[in-house]
Structure 1
Amino acid sequence: MRLPKRSPLPNRPGGVGAEPPHTSELTAVQERRTRGRGAEPLRAKRVPKHQNEHHADGPILAALSLRHALLGVLKDRPLTGYDLVRHFQGTVGFLWSAPQSQIYPELRRMEAAGLVRAKVAPRGQRAQKRIYSVTDDGMAELRRWATDFMPLPAQRDPVHLKAAFFDLAPLDAVREQLRAHVAQFQWRLEQWQAREDAIRERRAELVEVWLARQRVDEHDNIIQLKIHALEGLIGRARAEIAWARQGLELCDEIEARRELSPLPLGEAARQRG
């Protein structure tokens, strides 16, 4: 059954660069901080250390997100490292970017942790290849991660941070930054839309492998949930493009106002002071 195409997500006011609700106070990290200041600590749920690491910001969160992304690809079928990298870039790579130099070391760590197993097979006359598959523990970890609440990481957006100080830059430099922003998110938008179409039209290889192992009456539900993840990115890309284009229009307006009432640099500085 082919699913009807859903209408695009609207651009919500304040959606671009808006600060999400902070939930890091639910973590054990914040509990330790508040205890040191004499505040009543919030009680975080006690879980084993390896299961609680994904609540932290920074490198630990990135490493754990990569780990679960790799498990998510390998759950469909066993893959060599080369094929895993290729499928990663064409599937979850749309959601979590990682270079090959990070993927292979993480696979080794996952193997040591018992989350994946590697079968050595011949490749040609002398070479060997490792074929990775998810273990029962790996599948259990993936389901746990998909189920557990994940606090949002702290907001860190270098482009929007820079935009807060665009008044210090020449308008041409601002335009250059904003045009690059439009081009980047236009490219991402096209990639995400192509992936959405592939899933909707049942052309996504690994999704089809996964569906073949699920109940038929759940197929549409699975597809709609996967499309929903992409629609969030598509909506964000459209909002970022609109924001950057509004900035370009603002640059033109500012330039026009300056041309109508030019002031010497010293006079402008005195008026600002």
Structure 2
Amino acid sequence: MFNRRFIWSTSALILAIVCSDKGQAEKPFEWRTAQPEEVGISSEKLQTLTAELAKRQTKAFLVVRHDKLIWEWYSPDHGPDKKHYTASLAKAIVGGIALALALDDGYLRLDDPVSRYVTQWLTDPRKSKITVRHLGSHTSGLDDSRPNEEAPWKDVFWRRESPPRDPFTISRDVTPLLFNPGERFHYSNPGIAMLTYVIAAAMRSAPENNIRNLLRDRVYRPIGLNDDEWSIGYGQTFQVDGLPLVPAWGGANFTARATARIGRLVLHRGHWEGRQIISEDSI
């Protein structure tokens, strides 16, 4: 799901996190600061990059190396306490992390057929072969959707109307299959909608299957995110098939530092200051 060295970016947010060392377990985690040269990075090159990003209307640029905050820049209309949209990064830090929790709790497995949890697909000869892994890896065969495309359902998906014209029902009942599951990669926002649908359905008997609450209580708060540092799912929850469904293909907003904490959790393979928040296997 994630690489050890990675760069996440949107048109107005770039976050880079590389390497790590263990923090202090005795007190709540706070970022330590250091000069870039102390960890082998050129201040001059970071300054040049920052200037170029500013020209491209970037809002925030934050770099962490060896658990030290070495560079933090914000545009004049932004700042460390201001949330920024994360576009499809939500697929990882909302959908992916929620899936990891469901795996940890034993409610599903990656190679489970989706039709085990979405019974509407049981009698479909092709969709019944889609697995959870297919949805998460964009190999399900489900078509993608973009706003204002020719197919009417694609535009409706993005309008996020009430059921039955909501994006989850459209993903389940209307989105066509372009090829047999597992044949190849095809990026699919409806596929990620179905991933979060499956998580909620698989956890129907759990104490909590609303992924907004699940992530807040199991991950975000435990790693030190304040509730005002993030929002997910376009602020919406859709009730479909008796399930509280929260979008995870987009619609998330995080401060740069909040995003960095999630990155640090993944980099440490789910371990946070003496606690295993998510298992290494799920990471």
TM-score (normalised: structure 1): 0.23
- Please tell me whether Structure 1 or Structure 2 has the larger radius of gyration of its CA atoms: 1
TM-score (normalised: structure 2): 0.23
Structure number having the greater strand percentage: 2
Structure number having the greater helix percentage: 1
